[in-house]
Amino acid sequence: MLYDTMIKYLRKDIYPFHMPGHKRNASMMPPDLLSLDITEIPGFDNLHNAEGVIRSAQETASAVYGADACLFSVNGSSAGIIAAICTACEICGEHRNLLMARNSHVSAFSGLVFSGARPVYIYPEETAYGLCGGIEPAHIKHMLEINPECAAVFITSPTYEGFVSDIKTIAEYVHEYGKLLIVDEAHGAHFPFYDTTPEPAIRLGADIAIISPHKTLPALSQSALTLIRGERVDVDRLKFFMRVCQTSSPSYIIMSTIDYTFQSLSRNRGVYATYARRLASARAALSELSAFRLIGEEMTGTAGIYAIDLSKMLFVALRGMSGYELERRLTREFKIQLEMSGDRFALALTSVADTCEGFERLIKGVTAVDALAANKGGETLRAPRVFLRAECRITPRQASFLPWELLGLHNSTGKISADLISAYPPGIPVLAPGELITSEIVGRLSDMGVNQIKTVKGL
Ligand SMILES: Cc1ncc(COP(=O)(O)O)c(C=O)c1O
């Protein structure tokens, strides 16, 4: 049934402005993927103790980002994030607090459950359009000053929407306080290949950066890298946790295509130059919309945003139509699927694998829908609040292992959540285990259609 549905969908020829970054463009992939599906036969190394060809592929990837070491993951950035949090929080023994951005992906919350760490939340700045911006370095410095027990700092840069924080200054502060900086850079795999993208976090001082080639490069789903730089990270322990978090039968298709991607893109920078030109002209063609606004460089320097990843084409809905409606119309009338949309925005994810025809479809579709929305007119759309402040009462691990009870949403105010509830994408929890359920959170969950919730029994 799944297979049939997929084939039916593919026949509709809907153009993917979403992940994976290979965009199903076969010219970007090795020709016969099935022939790459082997196991640890002699000569092919072992992911969990890499000493041969896998190790050398990891070294190639390390060199691309300027890291000292790289560990492949066939379980996405999720595995690297969980392993990095377990490694970082172990060093503080019993007092395993983690200074963590609340706009982290669900995998960081899984890392809290695995490690037992207690999060001390920091919040990104809010942009003019009600989105999560970057994290201000001064804010991190202040939080480290008043939370000296935190073992490490965990932030996401770029965000799903492409907003990059000032990693260099953040790293300086974090190291001044003797802590580790872990950057979830899952959406920044393409940074080294493109002249106008920000520098990779690992070159700017992050101790660990976790990257998903499958999101923004021509690589298969689940491909990811954990990059390490400097002496602060216990690499053996990180390797141990990477093994704990992954299958004992890692896919050679995924691992070899990571290698293929880095080798071919490093050799053939021309494809990136072509993509950069296509992207720039699509951005220029969509720069004068009326009902929507294509976000660009003008956001740099606002709301903690140090740089912008322009490969993410983020359309903010100003009037006449929501981001959801833009996405729906693009799919129905122009055969384009976006990465995600919300009331206030819609996001097209572009990559080096996008074709000229794909960009043309996007320009035509967005221009036409924008004209329609402009004609409709109406109120300027209201920006929803990004997220509410959360209060962590017990650790996510305690909340996940204690007995729970299922309550009606409206009876759950004042209880402690045993559940993680998020909209996907972007996969940032509205409510995480261990957090107090407030009436504001109940309101937000009710808007999402949630009507029951797991709470910690007796608390
Ligand atoms: C910001 C962020 N970090 C981490 C992840 C997890 O990455 P992966 O899907 O490679 O496990 C995602 C996935 O969407 C993400 O958006």
For the chain, the domains span 2-19+269-376, 28-266, 396-456
Query: What pLDDT score was predicted for residue 325?
Result: 96
pTM of the predicted model as reported, rounded to 2 decimal places: 0.96
Q: Give domain 396-456's CATH superfamily.
A: Orn/Lys/Arg decarboxylase, C-terminal domain (3.90.100.10)
DSSP 291-304: SEEE--GGGTTSTT
**Mean pLDDT along residues 248-274:** 92
Residue 31 CB-density burial (10 A; 0-12 exposed, 13-18 middle, 19+ buried): exposed
**Lowest pLDDT segment from 28-32, 285-289, 366-370:** 28-32
Q: Is the pLDDT of residue 386 over 70?
A: no
Mean pLDDT score, 174-201: 94
Mean pLDDT of 109-113: 96
- Residue 224 forms beta bridges with which residues? 73
The residue to mutate among 212, 216, 227, 258, having the most atoms of ligand 1 within 8 angstroms of its beta carbon, is 212
Among 17-21, 92-96, 408-412, the range scoring the smallest mean pLDDT is 92-96
3 state SS for 244-277: HCCCCCCCHHHHHHHHHHHHHHHHCHHHHHHHHH
CB 107 within 8 A of CB 82: yes
Question: Does residue 383 surpass a pLDDT of 70?
Answer: no
Q: Whole-angstrom Cα distance, residue 442 to residue 94? A: 33
Residue 184 alpha carbon, nearest atom of ligand 1: 3
246 CB under 6 A from ligand 1? no
**CB neighbour list of residue 86: distance below 8 Å, 6 or more residues apart:** 111, 114, 115, 241, 244
Amino acid identity, position 379: E
Is the CB of 212 within 6 Å of ligand 1?
yes
Q: With a cut of 70, say whether residue 240 has pLDDT above it.
A: yes
User: What DSSP line would sit under 394-458, residue for residue?
Assistant: S-HHHHHHS-EEEEEGGG-TTSBB---EEETTTTEEEE-TTBB--HHHHHHHHHTT--EEEEETT
Query: What are the structure tokens assigned to 45, written together?
Result: 């190394």
- Rounded-to-integer distance, Cα 159 and Cα 307, Å: 11
Distance CA 231, CA 289 (A): 49
**Torsion from C-alpha of 106, 300, 19, 153, nearest 10 degrees:** -30
**Confidence at 90, pLDDT banded by 50, 70, 90:** low
The answer to whether the CB of 394 falls within 8 A of the CB of 456 is yes
Residue range 330-361, pLDDT digits in tens: 999 999 999 999 888 999 999 999 999 999 99
Q: If you count them, how many residues does the chain have?
A: 459
Q: What is the pLDDT of residue 381?
A: 65
d(Cα 263, Cα 60) in Å, to the nearest integer? 8
Give the whole-number percent of the chain exceeding pLDDT 70: 97
Q: Is the CB of 125 under 6 A from ligand 1?
A: no
Among protein residues, the one with the nearest Cα to ligand 1's atom 10 is 76
Please give the CATH number for the structural domain made up of 28-266.
Answer: 3.40.640.10
CA nearest to 60, candidates 51, 70, 52: 70
Q: Is the CB of 184 under 6 A from ligand 1?
A: yes
Pocket probe mutation, ligand 1, options 71, 103, 105, max atoms within 8 Å of Cβ: 105
Q: How confident is the model at residue 95 (pLDDT cuts 50, 70, 90)?
A: low
**Residue 334 is which amino acid?**
F
The predicted-structure confidence for 123-158, as pLDDT tens digits, reads as follows 999 998 888 999 999 999 999 999 999 999 999 999
Could you name the CATH architecture of 2-19+269-376? Answer: Alpha-Beta Complex (3.90)
What is the rounded distance in angstroms from the CA atom of residue 113 to the CA atom of residue 111?
5
d(CA 85, CA 113): 10
3-state secondary structure 2-70: HHHHHHHHHHCCCEEECCCCCCCCHHHCCCCHHHHCCCCCCCCCCHHHCCCHHHHHHHHHHHHHCCCEE
